[in-house]
């Protein structure tokens, strides 16, 4: 299997970490992670695709090994994280690329596509939401309450998402066999969000997530106007973004292909062997391979 390189780049005065694999002249695939993880979630996927694709997986600011300036130094919004991601792609000379989006990676990916639709060659969305019907209300109800009112009561409820138990819950809920999910995953993420000041970063992003649903109509128009090849490969038992969110892509994009898989929010932890062949077929058909 191909080697994965671990690199840093200075973008807009911030140091961003990213993983890179594959030939420099191969079709590019940009992998955008979700909460509360980092490019660590792609550690097993990247070597499996690196023979045919140039893979770039950044850590968003405040996550993983990227800088994590405090909320008094940086305004953590999905617009601002998109600015940094776009800056990294420009730094790497990428003006044409496919996207892999999951969780927080989705609103960043949609913003990239809206800014430069001609740059996006294809989209793989793995539990990366773009439709209101994708929200699982039991999970999102306290988030919505906190967005409306940052009272101590609502903040305490949302802070539970930063606990070890709730991070583990994200990984194992919906997994066909919990023993297939390595404890390294939730312990790695918990250590990252437990760094001094990182809780305030995550709370700020929970609040700013309210900007994403109002963006969806523009994303749907992008799907209708540009019809990017799109593969929705979804853990059907995700307790955060349900399968109705996966099915909805076909409503606006006739090129959407949907696969509901046994698994949860972090499908790659248990379904990698099923996801890789689907991605190879999809990417090979729509963007080619080296």
**Catalytic annotation, residues:** 265
Torsion sign over Cα 42, 43, 45, 46:
positive
Other CB atoms closer than 10 Å to residue 274's CB: what's the count?
15
93, 68 Cβ separation under 8 angstroms? no
Contacts of 250 (CB under 8 A, 6+ apart): 256, 258
> Over the range 236-270, which residues count as b (16 or more CB within 10 Å of their CB) and which as e?
bbbebbbbebbbbbeebbebbbbbebebbbbbbbb
Helix axes 137-148, 198-208, angle to 10 degrees: 100
């Amino acid at each position: 299997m191909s080697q994965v390189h671990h690199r840093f780049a200075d973008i807009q005065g911030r140091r961003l970490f990213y993983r890179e694999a594959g030939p420099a002249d191969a079709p590019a695939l940009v992998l955008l992670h979700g909460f509360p993880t980092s490019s660590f979630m792609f550690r097993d996927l990247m070597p499996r695709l690196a023979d045919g694709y140039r893979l770039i997986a950044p850590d968003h600011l405040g996550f993983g090994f990227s800088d994590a300036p405090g909320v008094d130094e940086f305004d953590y919004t999905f617009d601002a994280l998109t600015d940094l991601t776009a800056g990294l792609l420009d730094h790497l000379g990428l003006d044409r690329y496919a996207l892999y989006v999951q969780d927080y990676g989705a609103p960043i990916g949609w913003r990239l596509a809206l800014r430069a639709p001609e740059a996006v060659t294809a989209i793989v969305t793995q539990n990366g939401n773009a439709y209101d019907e994708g929200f699982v209300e039991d999970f999102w109800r306290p988030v919505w309450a906190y967005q409306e009112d940052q009272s101590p009561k609502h903040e305490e409820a949302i802070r539970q998402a930063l606990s070890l138990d709730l991070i583990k819950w994200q990984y194992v809920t919906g997994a066909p066999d919990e023993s297939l999910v390595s404890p390294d995953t939730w312990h790695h993420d918990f250590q990252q969000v437990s760094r001094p000041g990182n809780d305030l970063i995550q709370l700020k992003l929970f609040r700013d997530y309210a900007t994403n649903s109002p963006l969806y109509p523009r994303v749907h128009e992008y799907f209708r106007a540009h019809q990017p090849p799109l593969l929705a490969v979804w853990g059907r038992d995700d307790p955060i973004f349900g399968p109705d969110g996966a099915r909805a892509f076909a409503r606006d994009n006739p090129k959407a292909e949907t696969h509901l898989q046994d698994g949860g929010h972090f499908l790659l932890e248990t379904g990698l062997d099923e996801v890789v062949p689907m991605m190879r077929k999809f990417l090979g058909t729509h963007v080619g391979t080296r």
